Amino acid sequence: MDVLHLVPSYADRLYSAGHWKACQAVRLSLRDLGLEVASRVFEAEDGRDVLPALDDTVRDIVVEYSRTPELVAAIRRSCPRARIHVRAHNAEAWHHVHRSGGTLRVLARPRVFYGVCRLLERDSRCRRLGHAILSISEWDSRHYWSWLPGRARIVDVPYFSPWPDLRPEVSPWPWAKREAVMLCLPGARDAIGRAAAKGFYDLARGLSSRLAGWRFAISAGVFRSPDDEAPPPGIDHIRDLAEPWDLLCRVKAVAVLTPLGFGAKTTIFDALAAGCHVLVHPKLATHLPPAVAARCIAVEVSDSGEALATTLDSEPAPHDVNARMRGQAADGLRRVLASGERH
């Protein structure tokens, strides 16, 4: 066996969530390299349920993701010859700050402060114990992972949308046949998701009079809550979105108007792969790979001008962003798996 890919059970079963899609993308990248790969789902953070699968034939192990340093430590003890590569989905400590409110003032709340310290400790242990950190975001690599103690290499393995492979029977619709719909698909109703919803509502309020015949719709997200508030009048509420890729392939625009969060906003990459216009908050645009940011429309939520409306009614220029991200992900994995470095 060349590579063992370990995935936490909650990421494996929550279909279409961001971490589920990120794990699927890594699986595809490993397949692209033509390696012999075995995948295992684990329940316990200390790895006791996957350790029996380890033996001396395992050369490299990819662990999803940095929340389980106990598993990384257990693998090092039981399989010392293997190299362990930790997939990083977010700059976890800073992401927790943003999920909790978005400003450093939230650190005054003991529970948030404890959470940040715990995540910093987990991520630091992963960098000390692992052989490589497979970062999902170049921005996170430079501004977070490189500052943590440890000797693990930091390798950029960007997210790309796995949907074209996962649902090959569904293709992006021609522009002329697409529904005149702008979507907001917040994954959760934490501070990041609430900011995305508010930005979407504000933009829709200004644009609705300029985009004749358009509809605006928001999903309940994969982390549905019975306490979710209904959207304001004029916004459709998608309560159950079983197949998000299918919907992305037939609408014209997707809005991700939150300034908060780290890692990769997977919906941005998915919407670009589906051929949509993608509107992002200007602050979020600075965290994206340059090739991705160049294909997005950075807008302030107060922007409801005629120029923006005209752009949204026009077909986006063709691009190969998803293929480029996929190629970069494969290159990053190829470099780290081909390396003989150990520590």
The full set of domain ranges for the chain reads 3-160+325-338, 165-319
Distance in angstroms (rounded) separating the CA atoms of residues 189 and 223: 8
Distance, C-alpha 109 to centroid of its chain: 27
Position 327 scores a pLDDT of 97
Mean pLDDT of 190-218: 91
CATH fold match for the domains 3-160+325-338 and 165-319:
yes
Q: Does position 309 have pLDDT exceeding 60, yes or no?
A: yes
Position with higher pLDDT, 296 vs 52:
296
Q: State the pLDDT confidence band at 221, using cuts at 50, 70 and 90.
A: low
Task: Report the C-alpha gap between 95 and 90 in whole angstroms.
Answer: 7
Backbone dihedral region of 124: left (phi > 0), alpha (psi from -120 to 50 degrees) or beta?
Answer: alpha
What is the tens place of the pLDDT at every residue in 65-96?
A: 999 999 999 999 988 889 999 999 999 999 98
Q: What average pLDDT does range 101-112 have in this prediction?
A: 85
What per-residue confidence (pLDDT) applies to 52?
85
Backbone angles phi, psi at 19, to 5 degrees: -70, -30
Within its chain, how far is the Cα of 15 from the centroid? Answer: 13
Confidence bin at 118 (pLDDT 50/70/90): very high
Tell me, what's the pLDDT at 340? 60
What is the model's pLDDT at position 282? 95
Separation of alpha carbons 234 and 2, rounded Å? 53
Pairwise CA distance, residues 74 & 235, whole Å: 49
Average pLDDT of span 129-136: 97
CB count, 10 Å around CB of 247? 20
What is the rounded average pLDDT for all residues in the chain? 91
Handedness of CA 150, 155, 156, 159 (dihedral sign): negative
How would DSSP label each residue in 192-255? HHHHHHHHHHHHHHHHTTTSTT-EEEEE--SS--TTPPPPPTTEEEE---S-HHHHHTTEEEEE
Q: What is the pLDDT of residues 268-281, one digit of tens each?
A: 999 999 999 999 99
Instruction: Tell which residue, 263, 1, 253, has the closest CA to residue 134.
Output: 263
For residue 135, is pLDDT > 70?
A: yes
Q: What's the predicted TM-score (pTM) here?
A: 0.94
Q: Which overall architecture, per CATH, does domain 3-160+325-338 show?
A: 3-Layer(aba) Sandwich (3.40)
CATH level 3 topology of 165-319: Rossmann fold (3.40.50)
Indicate the pLDDT class of residue 189, thresholds 50, 70 and 90: confident
Between residues 239 and 92, the one the model is more confident about: 92
Q: What's the distance, CA 209 to chain centroid?
A: 33
Angle between helices 266-273 and 321-338 (to 10 degrees): 120
Q: What is the enclosing helix (H) or strand (E) of 144? A: none
Which pair of structure tokens corresponds to residue 292?
Answer: 């991705």
